[in-house]
Amino acid sequence: MSITATTATTLPVFLTGALAVQVRESLHFSVGALGLLVAAFFASASLVSVLAGAMAEKLGGERIMRACALAVAFLLFGIAVFGHSYAVLLVLLVLAGFTNGAMQPAVNLFVIDAVPPGRRGFALGVKQAAIPVSTLFAGLAVPAIALTIGWQYAYAIAGVVALIVLAAVPPGRSTGITRSGGDSKARPRIALPPIITLAAAMALGAGAANALGAFLVENAVHTGFSPSDAGLLAAFGSACGLISRLVGGALADRRGGRHLPVIAGMVGLGAVGYAAFALQNYWLVIPATAIAYAAGWGWNGVFNFAIVVNHPGAEGRATGTTQAGAYIGSVIGPLAFGYAVDHLSFQWAWALASVTAVVAAAGMLVGRRLLLRERDRGATAITVVG
């Protein structure tokens, strides 16, 4: 349930990235304008993420999940039927971003309430696997749908998926009363220095990763792949990311700690993948895709698990805050990448992504050090630092 619910609200943006060649030809906009579409989606998501985390703690994750699934279904059908101009597509993606911003912390709480502590790492890995599932579906939609019956039908099919999610979400049962005794003043507080540092690190890492999701197909076509093969490449990368998130979550349950250093290593390895893209060599595109998706974009589930472990009783607010960081990075990353492509080249854009990932990895380690300091002071409910 967690993976399908999250997939439904991420499909609008990742379909747009994978179908970029066809959509741009139909609506006549530039590569830089594609970056604006992706950025607008994540900008609107960032506006509601922190608030949605607190609401999920109070109202229960299932209620918000149902509302988001219904809303995104209408928006996906709207793109399929009315998305005949860039302006309309932009507005609908902004509205779709709101549903994604609310869905993410709601699903996090749903998972935490439904899964025993010893399996939460894997469960959150499954939940975060929704993103590569979205890009896998989007990549396969290029040769199967966009190049045969038209790109609009891909959005319509995604709308049907969202309606299936709506029907499958169970009635609301987890509430803020069962989690916190109904007293908001009794909720554990969040240590701001480490959570803000980690949110900033996630912003940088997610910015580079979402540029990958938005521009992989365009870059592959630029280096010599056909549109059909570029779509299959996106599907391949998504499969690598899916496996990485599932394996990473399972290993996190067994590891018992030191999750953030592992995450920093993955983000750093992802920087190697982005650097390989910067060489613009046809034969390096496939291995670079595997590395960038598996390492550079495969750490999100373990990251959320580390945040949950470090903030017992405040999981919704904590993950809502770091998710807001991810969204802010996902705004800036595609915009900066698209600008670099339009005004410089793909080589410079990927080099920028690589440097950004290195800084993100360093930020993860700094954030962990701050968590250790807070734990030693005994100022928060932190008992285990991931």
Confidence check: pLDDT of 316 > 70: no
Q: Give the burial class of 185: count Cβ atoms within 10 A of its Cβ; 0-12 exposed, 13-18 middle, 19 or more buried.
A: exposed
381: left (phi over 0), alpha (psi -120 to 50) or beta: alpha
pLDDT digits (tens, 9 = 90+) for 1-40: 556 777 778 888 878 877 877 888 788 877 778 778 877 8
pLDDT digits (tens, 9 = 90+) for 191-228: 677 888 988 998 999 888 878 877 888 788 888 888 87
Place of tokens 């992504």: 353
Place of tokens 């300091």: 373
Tokens of 279: 């060489």
What is the structure's pLDDT at 77? 92
- As its CATH architecture, domain 2-172+188-377 has Up-down Bundle (1.20)
Note whether 300 and 210 are within 8 A (CB). no
Confidence check: pLDDT of 308 > 80: no
The chain-wide mean pLDDT, for the chain, equals 78
What is the structure's pLDDT at 129? 63
What is the structure's pLDDT at 176? 44
Calculate what percentage of the chain has a pLDDT beyond 90: 14
pLDDT digits (tens, 9 = 90+) for 257-281: 788 888 999 999 999 999 999 988 8
Report helix, strand or coil for 258. coil
List C-alpha distances in Å: 70 to 37, 166, 377.
Answer: 22, 6, 45
| Residues 70, 89: Cα–Cα separation, whole Å | 19
What is the structure's pLDDT at 166? 79
> What mean pLDDT do residues 91-106 have?
86
What is the structure's pLDDT at 128? 64
> What mean pLDDT do residues 336-341 have?
84
Place of tokens 């990927």: 350
Q: How does DSSP assign 7-48, residue by residue?
A: HHHHHHHHHHHHTHHHHHHHHT--HHHHHHHHHHHHHHHHHH
At residue 177 the predicted structure's pLDDT band, cuts being 50, 70 and 90, is very low
Confidence check: pLDDT of 384 > 90: no
At residue 178 the predicted structure's pLDDT band, cuts being 50, 70 and 90, is very low
Confidence check: pLDDT of 105 > 80: no
What is the structure's pLDDT at 14? 78
Tokens of 182: 């109904």
